[in-house]
Amino acid sequence: MNVLVWFKRDLRAADHPALAHAAGLGRVLPVYVVEPELWRQPDASARHWGFVAESLAELRRDLAALGAPLVVRTGDAVEVLAELAARHGVTRMVSHQETGTQWSFARDRRVAAWARQAGIAWEELPQAGVRRGARDRAGWAGFRDGFMAGAVLAPPALSAVPGVEPGMIPSAAALRLAADRCPHRQAGGRARGLALMDSFLASRGEGYLAAMSAPGTGERSCSRLSPHLAWGTLSAREVDQAARARAEERPGGTWGGSLAGFRNRLAWRDHFLQRLEDVPDLEARAMSAAAEHLRPREPDAARLEAWAGGETGLPYVDACLRYLAATGWLNFRARAMLMAVASYHLWLDWRATAPVLARAFTDYEPGVHWSQAQMQSGVTGINVPRIYNPVKQGQDHDPTGAFTRAWVPELAAVPDIWLQEPWKWPGAKGLLGRRYPEPVVDPEAAARAARAAMGVLRRAPEVREEALVIEARHASPGATDPRFRRDALSGRRARAVEPGQLSFGF
């Protein structure tokens, strides 16, 4: 029997349930379809493709060593899969379930329709702690625990379908992706992911909890595994089990809290993936219908351009945006702040700003990204709005000003006391409005206006009633699962980790 394995966001051979299953069925045809239409979507970018292309090249070598090199084809998924199946006598297809955008959901439905018509048996297997088709969260934590505790699968020996040309891995230019200068983007490939995991668990991760809140310190102390999890060069299961094994060594120091906090965030990752699995149109529609028209759907173009370009006149915000543009990564708290400032201070609709960040994050994971975009914008109906003070965030997380000055060199001469609010500096004449912009809004006045608007929304009786329905369907695991209610530093029972503080750049 010839079995086609369709790779998507699972670019590895190890701990790959679909590949292992296919290897036991017959000869294997491993395929990755480069879909030009996918790469034309507003959440896609050249930095994503750069990471993917590097990962595909390594995956091809790994699969060749197992006996069946990766086949790459460019085109519409249905057309490519149909042509390969007909030419090479494929009767079964195996892939992992994908929790993605509406575009990928619609594509998978088209593939399913073709497979049924062509008589191809298509199996989709889970690759994370995400359960498909459930009506609510009852039993979800147990399902996830069971999956994550399962055996990490070794790369299987493969018997290849003969006579298949491997094909070229196209360049970003060939896909007509806009040029994207990201000089410090993380490189793709499983080997790099494993090296990062090893260094994090051996040394870098000891200060994880203390250092993760600031981009300057988080750059080294965070795991930096998020792009490898997003594109599947590593599985969440193997990372979680490696972290658990390290904790069982009882390394001392602050390791216990750091490893517990890291594993908690892996669990929250699955929670957010499950939310998108349950509500596949999160990118287009607010969870709370009452908040659907909270902000103008047509954003203020000048504010959006200033925010996207790191020219808001709010120094720490601009520093984080420019750092993100150059690296493709940002720590969790800074991500939350950027989305909150755009939504509350600039009063921009999340559907206009979230794609900007999606394109910038090398580790863009739809399930996490769209849940967080809504959460940080106050449109879920169940999360308390977090209106970050961008001045205080800079003072708290860049107390020396080194990070801000590195990425906003226009402010090099501003004294420390005025760095995060240079408009108050007596010597600002000749600087603001010339070398560095005036702030696009008064941050204090903008926060007051946003707080008032959100208060009106949340006090409405229909909103409160709606929130009860949403909570019943999408309750965070912290409400019922003690694993999400342990203080990461002490291990003692505590309030649930505030999900509004979380994002993916762990």
Q: Could you tell me which residues are annotated as the binding site?
A: 208, 262
| R_g of the chain computed on alpha carbons | 23
- Using left for φ > 0, alpha for ψ between -120 and 50, and beta otherwise, residue 5 falls in beta
Alpha carbons 233 and 11: distance in angstroms, whole number: 5
Which amino acid is it at 380?
A: T
Residues 6+ apart with CB under 8 A from 234: 12, 190, 193, 194, 197, 225, 228
Residues 6+ apart with CB under 8 A from 170: 34, 53, 74
Alpha carbons 53 and 378: distance in angstroms, whole number: 36
Strand order in the sheet with 121-125: 71-74, 27-34, 2-7, 90-96, 121-125
Of 385, 375, 386, 400, nearest to 504 by C-alpha is 375
90-96 and 71-74 as β-strands: parallel, antiparallel, unpaired? Answer: unpaired
Alpha carbons 464 and 41: distance in angstroms, whole number: 35
Which value, to the nearest 10 degrees, does the dihedral of the CA atoms of residues 320, 221, 248, 365 take? Answer: 30
Tell me if 324 sits within 8 A of 219, measured CB to CB. no
Alpha carbons 341 and 504: distance in angstroms, whole number: 18
Binding-site annotation, residues for FAD: 208, 262
